[in-house]
Structure 1
Amino acid sequence: MTIPYQVTLSEETNQVVLLPSSFTLQPGQNVIQVTVIPQSPFNGGVLTWILQGTVPYKEVYELCITKFDVDVAGCDSTGKMASVDKNEVNSNPTSFSLYPNPAVTAVTLSYSLELEGATLEIYDLTGRSIAKKALSSSDKEVTLAIDSYPAGMYMLVVKQAGTILWQNKLIIK
């Protein structure tokens, strides 16, 4: 291939979200860093990834689809498990609920946080942060206007002190 072309990367069974999911391949060797975001209840295993794009061929364009298996480790294989005291787990209880999802104009996140300093971020499927909002432990709910974003899939991530507390797919119609 002598010209760059756009491709899409996906996972066959939607057990993980891959970011970026769309990128341009340049002629020659390419190194692409992909973030894998597991969707509950994923525990690791072999996944089939699909790389597809329309490539120029002679006078026309052809759809090129390549499937390959990737072994994504879970804690039961090469990952490390850590013991946590039961009292530590309950010392900072959190809960999250996102609705409506899919959404058209606005989406509401209801949450319960014991500590301050949490943030909500929205990522598009290229991995780019498109919105960020501080969450207060006293508010318990935040409504986000999403009508300015194009239809598609996004990731919502709640972080506190560098730790991901919650993540969820958001579909905008």
Structure 2
Amino acid sequence: MEIQLIDPDNLVTFTPSTFILQPGVNTITTTILPVNGFTGNASINIFINGTSYDRDFNPIPCLYQLRVYIPRCSVSPSPLLKQFEKKTTDTGINIHFSPNPVTNEATLSWDVDFSIDQYQLFDIRGQLLTQQMLTSNITSTKISMEHLPKGVYIITLWSKMVFVKYLKVIKN
């Protein structure tokens, strides 16, 4: 059965948001990214939407609603996040993705004094399309999107296993 996590209030995005469940017990893991100014410290509605099948393979729609408390993103940020915030405000760390919109290939680049060691590319439904580990001594990388259909994509950036930022990318 395929299920999709949905936030009807558009306060968060799930990456990934779509999962294939096998018969029996399943464990799913997702990253919740706040959007539209949401910072946490509130309960949100999450819908799990899917389709099951009876013995004759007739579809049975399934919809479950969960009320989940999302804590404030970080009351006491990790030293890496404090460093990132300081660089963002004090020295103006720059993370660029260009061109955006992209047709075939784009360049992701960042300041020399900051390390991005992984990026993930998700489609708008939250399905992971590409995950790339990066060497620590680079300040840019090429991302090929020529094989992807036109649409909106999300790139998440990570430094030392800590989420740093996400970028919205448009593919023409």
Same fold (TM > 0.5): yes
Displacement after TM superposition at 1:72 (Å): 0.7
* TM-score, scaled relative to structure 1: 0.66
Counterpart contact for 2:117–2:160, Cα < 8 Å: no
1:9-24 → structure 2 map (5 Å cutoff): 9-24=5-20
The one-letter code matched in structure 2 to 1:160 is S
Q: Which consecutive residues of structure 2, in runs of 5 or more, have no partner in the other structure?
A: none
Q: Percent same amino acid at aligned positions?
A: 21
Per the alignment, residue 121 of structure 2 pairs with 123
Displacement after TM superposition at 1:98 (Å): 3.5
Displacement after TM superposition at 1:6 (Å): 1.3
Distance 1:38 1:8 in 2: 17
Displacement after TM superposition at 1:74 (Å): 0.5
Per the alignment, residue 72 of structure 1 pairs with 70
Per the alignment, residue 38 of structure 2 pairs with 42
RMSD, matched Cα: 3.6
Per the alignment, residue 52 of structure 1 pairs with 49
Distance 2:23 2:100 in 1: 39
Counterpart contact for 1:121–1:131, Cα < 8 Å: yes
Distance 2:50 2:114 in 1: 44
Is the alpha carbon distance of 1:57 and 1:105 closer, same or farther for their aligned partners in structure 2, counting shifts above 3 Å?
A: same
The one-letter code matched in structure 1 to 2:75 is K
Distance 2:67 2:171 in 1: 29
Per the alignment, residue 93 of structure 2 pairs with 94
Which has a greater percent of helix? 2
* TM-score, scaled relative to structure 2: 0.67
Residue 118 of structure 1: SS of its match in structure 2? coil
Residue 117 of structure 2: SS of its match in structure 1? strand
Which has a greater percent of strand? 1
Residue 74 of structure 1: SS of its match in structure 2? coil
The one-letter code matched in structure 2 to 1:48 is N
Is the alpha carbon distance of 1:70 and 1:151 closer, same or farther for their aligned partners in structure 2, counting shifts above 3 Å?
A: farther
Counterpart contact for 1:8–1:21, Cα < 8 Å: yes
Distance 1:34 1:161 in 2: 19
Displacement after TM superposition at 1:119 (Å): 3.1
Cα deviation 1:16-66 (Å, max 9, x = unaligned): 221331112334443323322223632102222121112224653133222
Counterpart contact for 2:118–2:131, Cα < 8 Å: no
Per the alignment, residue 163 of structure 2 pairs with 164
Is the alpha carbon distance of 1:98 and 1:50 closer, same or farther for their aligned partners in structure 2, counting shifts above 3 Å?
A: farther
